[in-house]
Chain A
């Protein structure tokens, strides 16, 4: 595990950049545990102060220090992304491995359901959920809903790997040795799909945080819970750009771009690492 990591850092500049960017954002989000005030309170500082040595990222029109506000927002959003990614990974691993290994009608039924989920446009459904749940829609409910829609692509990918594993020698040995289906899947096949799971983990986080930003910007979430999206929502509702409080928008946007680029680079370089052809090309062999 460690040697894989060392190889990636040595041969893959994208991975290193991604790691640094994500690392910075994780540390920044982690700072929120040491925040001197509750980030949901307003008018704790003089409003509309530009960035200075006292207020590093300035303060917004609601009298919140942007530094601590953003730190809490990134913590919540990253947490949200990780929750969605873990939940949807569980579904996609189960479906993908079961469909690929068991085959037959199980495969056909699961892939039929899979194709349905691919074809349903997620955004109107999410808005519908907000419309009927209104303020009952907290971030965990939203994470659950997104997880229910975030698995089909990756389940298909995992299934294609599992299909190949099914006819390998070691699977036959395991079956002849009397391993149950569940044990074959968990102990024999799961380690082979783990690299894909890690790579898609990042992609899934990107997707779910993006969805959260979109919904929150429209005001379709709990707007009092600081997340990346709600920070932008409040900035828009106070017309930050028009009244000249540019730091309220520009700093979050820069940080968002950093986070997304970092996660994307990590996902991409892991994908490349999984494919042996591109790995060899990169190492110059």
Chain B
């Protein structure tokens, strides 16, 4: 009687279907993963739409339920600047009421508001009169995006690399000192850090430009002097954003790495003589980076608020300065436009980061 030899499951499969090519097997294997990724993407997309829907709706109801009538507010602004005849004021009031639609019932106004948002037309800006508010926002958007993206990228890379190294080499003096510095700056509000930098580089040691997006004497175009000028002017705002953001990444990464270092597979790799660089980069950092990507999605909203404030301090021509100017000028359309665009932009950025997450982490993919 021959002993019963039971092959493992994979071997049975190989016996039954030996003709199938490797590629087909791989496809078969990957299909559930792909499927779950699409499922995940669909759910996230739904969430993105919900965020934008609720955010913009909340905006509408805040303005609708507030005791202040936008028509009277705009009229007050207009009348305080010039002498208008009562007739002119009456017809302006009529035109403004038609524009804002404030005489209609709530649901009609709500519906109207959404059609205008979807068409991207939130009316003319008041401070730069016939220019549409959306155009003003679109003009300032590249400045904010550029500042936000570069400073977030720099912060993420430096903070995580330094944090990871500090977690791995726990007794290194240099990393300890760096950690104290970064952590000390982290809790301080964006405004204060930007302001201190402004004082240092504006009054005490004026070497870098402290206001504006580019120098007065260069014309905005894709030429070298203009690009250099833009870079030079963005140095201080970006620097202040990086300073505040660094500590959070540093602390997070150091904590993650110092837990991973105690894992058996790291000890094993070290004992097996894997190169130190490989251990740090592929065994430790790679694994610690995954939760940090999730964290990136969570902080984008906060960093956006910080960028707006920093722009204001350094008089940078982005959306933050536009928002503050619009509020001070009582410009209803522009305030709404900035808010709509920023809710949409931040939600979309979070969506993109979330979509990248499963591609980096095989465990999430398999779920």
Interface residues of A (CB under 8 A from B): 112, 115-116, 118-125, 127-134, 136, 153, 206, 209-210, 213-214, 217-218, 220, 232, 241, 249, 253, 256-257, 260-261, 263-264, 268, 277-278
Contact = CB atoms under 8 A, between A and B. Distances in A.
B47 A115 contact: yes
Interface in B179-207: 183-184, 186-192, 195-196, 199, 203
A112 B50 contact: yes
Contacts of A268: 183, 251
A172 B266 CA distance: 39
Interface of B: 47, 50-51, 54-55, 58-59, 62-63, 66-68, 183-184, 186-192, 195-196, 199, 203, 251, 255, 259, 298, 301-302, 304-305, 308-309, 312, 323-324, 327, 335-336, 338-339, 342-343, 346-347, 350
Nearest to A267: B187
29 contacts: A112-B47, A116-B50, A118-B301, A119-B47, A119-B55, A120-B58, A120-B301, A121-B346, A122-B305, A123-B304, A123-B308, A124-B342, A124-B343, A125-B55, A125-B59, A125-B339, A130-B327, A133-B68, A210-B190, A213-B189, A214-B189, A214-B305, A241-B203, A249-B199, A256-B192, A257-B192, A260-B188, A263-B187, A264-B187
A121 B192 contact: no
A164 to B, nearest CB: 18
Task: Rank and list the top 10 A-B pairs by shortest CB-CB distance, nearest first.
Answer: A123-B305, A264-B187, A132-B66, A210-B189, A260-B187, A121-B301, A124-B339, A119-B51, A121-B346, A124-B342
B62 A132 contact: yes
A121 B304 contact: yes
Contact of A131 (B203, B255, B335): B335
A30 B342 CA distance: 40
Contact of A253 (B195, B301, B343): B195
A153 B294 CA distance: 13
Given A120-B51, A125-B339, A130-B327, A218 B312 contact: yes
Contacts of B63: 128, 132
A124 B189 contact: no
B192 A116 contact: no
Contacts of A125: 55, 58-59, 62, 339
Contacts of B68: 132-134
Given A112-B47, A127-B327, A261-B187, A121 B59 contact: no
Contacts of A257: 188, 192
Contacts of B342: 121, 124
B67 A136 contact: yes
A177 to B, nearest CB: 36
Given A122-B305, A128-B63, A217 B191 contact: yes
B260 to A, nearest CB: 12
A214 B58 CA distance: 22
A256 B192 CA distance: 9
B315 to A, nearest CB: 13
B308 to A, nearest CB: 6
Contacts, number: 120
Interface SS of chain A: helix
Contacts of A118: 298, 301, 350
Given A249-B199, A263-B187, A264-B187, 17 more contacts: A112-B50, A115-B47, A115-B51, A119-B346, A120-B51, A120-B55, A120-B58, A120-B347, A121-B342, A124-B308, A127-B339, A209-B189, A214-B190, A214-B305, A218-B312, A220-B327, A261-B188
Contacts of B203: 241
Interface centre among B251, B301, B324, by most chain A C-beta atoms within 10 angstroms, is: B301
Nearest to B350: A119
A219 to B, nearest CB: 8
B324 A218 contact: yes
B318 to A, nearest CB: 13
B93 to A, nearest CB: 19
Contacts of B54: 116, 120
Given A128-B335, A131-B327, A119 B189 contact: no
B327 to A, nearest CB: 5
B170 to A, nearest CB: 10
Nearest to A132: B66
A261 B346 CA distance: 29
Contact of B191 (A132, A134, A214): A214
Contacts of A232: 195
A213 B66 contact: no
Contacts of B183: 264, 268
A261 B68 CA distance: 40
Contacts of B312: 218
A68 B121 CA distance: 50
A235 to B, nearest CB: 10
Contact of B192 (A133, A153, A213): A213
Contacts of B335: 127-128, 131
A15 B311 CA distance: 35
A241 B206 CA distance: 14
Nearest to A212: B189
Contacts of A127: 323-324, 327, 335, 339
A118 to B, nearest CB: 6
Nearest to A202: B187
Contacts of A115: 47, 51
B183 to A, nearest CB: 8
Given A128-B59, A128-B335, A214 B309 contact: yes
